[in-house]
Chain A
Amino acid sequence: MNKIRRNVLISLALFGMLFGLQASSYAQSIRVITTTPELADITKQIGKELVNVESLTRGVEFMHAVPVKPSFVPKLNRADILVVMGLDLEISWLPALLEVANNSKILPGQSGNIDCSNGISVLEVSRTVDRSEGDVHPKGNPHYNLDPVSGKIIARNIADGLSHNYPQHRAVFEKNLNAYLGDLDKAIARWQSMAAPLKGVKIVTYHVEWSYFARRFGLEQVGIIELKPGIEPTPNHLVALVQKMQQEKTQLIIYGAQSDRFPRQLASQTSASVVRLQSIAGGSPETDTYIKFIDYNLRSLLTAVKKG
């Protein structure tokens, strides 16, 4: 009997130690969960040593099809701040997780939920929302992270959100924000001059996710591989697209986390080159920061244009 009691006491002590250690490791800094790696990177740049940041996605996922993993739930449960891209980019997986995360302070609309799409000049807002138009986003195209100027708005939103929740650290966040915006401005100036050969280059993309990037760097989008957003192409659609690509002298076919089957098929029937880019950061060591991620996409495109 005594042995059982002793074992129970030891087990309870071990549990207590486990939770105690866990609690103490989190007590030091602001626990921030982000939905994508670039949001994690920018949050780190602004929060520095004041924040402990983790991204739920790794950067290789297609953001409209992220698995709803229960392992995300404890992370969301313990988060002080949740940073999201917004515009319904995370609609297919995040609400289901928040449903069981038991953390009211990070629910949409609450101060702990930082929506980085605030202030973004949103493209492709549909006047009518109907599923006959595919898997459309009623609030507009959510892939604004691909425009580096939007990166400045993301950073500002994160700094404002952190300052709102932790006003005692406002000065630090502002100082770090200004330093980061300075770095980003320099990078943007460099990218603008680098991107000169891309002006007027005609592209076809797999999914409607490159609109912001194309607008910033002067690419001309002449077609989409998907029949409608989220709907795979039909043979007729592909035939029409090949004709259009030939007429328009399309140079590049851009795809991201999708299969390369249709891009390769189109390339074989036209003179366009296929290039795989990343629609969110973090998918590889070359894209582990937001600046490196934009840099990687731009350089990949320039290489493809030169080869083409």
Chain B
Amino acid sequence: MVRSVRRPRRMAVLSLVGALLLSPAFGRAQTSELDSIKTLVKNLEQQLQKALQRIDQLEKEKAATSGRVDQVERSVRSVQSAPSILNPAIGMSIDTTAEHRAKTGGDFNFRSAELGIAASVDPYARAYAFITGSKEEIEVEEAAIVTSSLPWNLQARAGRFFADFGRLAKFHPHEYAFVNTPLSLERIVGGESKADGAELSYLFPTPFFLRGTVGGYNKLGAENERLDDTKSRSWSRFTYLGRLHTYFDLTDNHGVELGTSLAFTPSLRMSDFTGSNRTLAGVDLTYRYQPLDSTLYQGFTWGSELFANSERRPLTLEDESVVGKRRRSFGGYSYGELKLNKNWSTGFLFDYAPSIDEPAKKTKSYSPFLTWNLSEFNRLRFQYSFLDDKVREEKSERGHQFFLQWTTVLGSHTHGFRNR
């Protein structure tokens, strides 16, 4: 009964709703509501779009900022970690040997600790210095200014430096392929070509390497005792030098380097009684085999130099007042070094050294050597030498000799182009 009463009521309500929905007034109200909803959604969409764009922008900014922070951090790190950026490059080499000489005995020989400093001075010049301490003394071996922007392919150098004479005379001894300075270089040139003076070099505009140097110095040679470096004197008593130096690639892997040097001192007075001019000449020849695809593991260098010296020397070493006689002496050395692999190399040095005062007397030496490069900056070398000495000036320059050399380099230490 109840059910039958409810059904007609429901039908009546539905009919009323249907009539209302179908009526035009209700339709208009419904449309405006839909429009407002649509507008609302559109606004929301626009706001969402803006928010997404803003998020994108913020993400990009964040990425860019972190990139910049990375760059700044990297720059700071590189400045902190690269000591040569704001200061001169500084380095030190230490060269020490344990040696036994048949005629003199054993020795732990602290040969040198060499402090090197180098940097650009300004856009026009750079400067470098090598200060060396040894068992005997501490000395400025080199301290020189070199131009970097002279016109016409010119380069000037002044101060104290190793003059551009020959090849090995410009090496610091710890850079040799063998242990000791060849006696021929020591006796004829005076060891390293250390000089106080000035030089001008010219790079010829040729397709091949050709370089010429002229220089003037107080004197030439680290062990040259002929003149006092500290006194003023006539310009005729200075040493003047000329050198030509060239190089040819025979192939990509083979190259030959040739140099000729002449040092002339117009007036050289050994004492109040002896005086003359002095001519020192040298020819150097270096052949290198450097296979480009395995320079780390293979290579061969053959280096030779001939020296000639002509000057008036005292007749007797004891009495320099006796007028001397012109002596001409010729000597030289030749060595070969073979790279066995990345760490090991071996070679042989032959040296032919005359006495300056008695050129007929010679010292010949034969020195095989073996080098172990633990790294680029740490090296051990063993050398045996036999010196057949007819000069008899020094006991340490004769007989059988054994050397174990340890050389290390700290920091930035390079002698540049000349020590190739």
Contact = CB atoms under 8 A, between A and B. Distances in A.
A241 to B, nearest CB: 18
A67 B292 contact: yes
Nearest to B373: A232
Interface in B142-184: 146, 148-150, 153-155
A166 interface: no
Nearest to B408: A131
Nearest to A227: B375
Interface string B102-130: 00000000000000000000010000000
A232 B74 CA distance: 29
Contacts of B247: 69-71
A210 B74 CA distance: 20
Contact of B416 (A96, A129, A230): A96
A82 to B, nearest CB: 14
B81 A129 contact: yes
B420 A138 contact: no
Interface string B246-279: 0111001001010000000000000000000000
A198 interface: no
Interface stretch (A43-51, A101-109, A173-181, A267-275): A101-109
Given A61-B293, A69-B249, A77 B375 contact: no
Nearest to A257: B293
B205 interface: yes
Contacts of B123: 104
Nearest to A101: B203
Contacts of B154: 102
B295 A66 contact: yes
A68 interface: yes
A74 B203 contact: yes
Interface in A50-85: 57-58, 60-62, 65-71, 73-74, 77-78
Interface stretch (B207-215, B235-243, B317-325): B207-215
B205 A19 contact: yes
Contacts of B208: 71, 74
Contacts of B396: none
Interface in B366-420: 375-377, 410, 414, 416-417, 420
Contacts, number: 116
Nearest to A127: B77
A19 B70 CA distance: 51
Given A96-B417, A101-B203, A138 B82 contact: yes
B81 A126 contact: yes
Interface string B190-219: 000000000001010111110100000000
B97 to A, nearest CB: 23
Nearest to B411: A131
B373 to A, nearest CB: 10
Given A71-B248, A122-B74, A258-B296, A102 B203 contact: yes
A121 B70 contact: yes
B290 interface: yes
Contacts of A104: 123, 148-149
B342 interface: yes
Interface string A198-214: 00000000000000000
Interface of A, helix, strand, loop or mixed by DSSP: loop
Contacts of A140: 74, 78
A283 to B, nearest CB: 8
A236 to B, nearest CB: 16
B88 to A, nearest CB: 14
Contacts of A57: 292
Contact of B252 (A58, A134, A257): A58
B150 A60 contact: no
Contacts of B146: 99
B65 interface: no
Contacts of B296: 62, 65, 257-259
Contacts of A12: none
A69 B81 contact: no
A135 interface: yes
A102 B155 contact: yes
A68 B420 contact: yes
A194 interface: no
A128 B81 contact: yes
Given A65-B296, A66-B295, A257-B293, A71 B377 contact: no
Interface string A223-255: 000000011100000000000000000000000
Contacts of B26: none
Contact of B414 (A66, A96, A97, A232): A96
B211 A100 contact: yes
A168 interface: no
A149 to B, nearest CB: 15
B193 to A, nearest CB: 17
B57 interface: no
A139 B81 CA distance: 8
Nearest to B71: A121
19 contacts: A61-B293, A62-B295, A71-B247, A74-B209, A77-B203, A97-B417, A99-B146, A99-B416, A100-B155, A102-B150, A102-B203, A104-B148, A127-B80, A134-B375, A138-B82, A140-B78, A258-B296, A259-B294, A259-B342
Given A65-B295, A73-B203, 5 more contacts: A62-B295, A65-B296, A71-B248, A71-B255, A138-B82
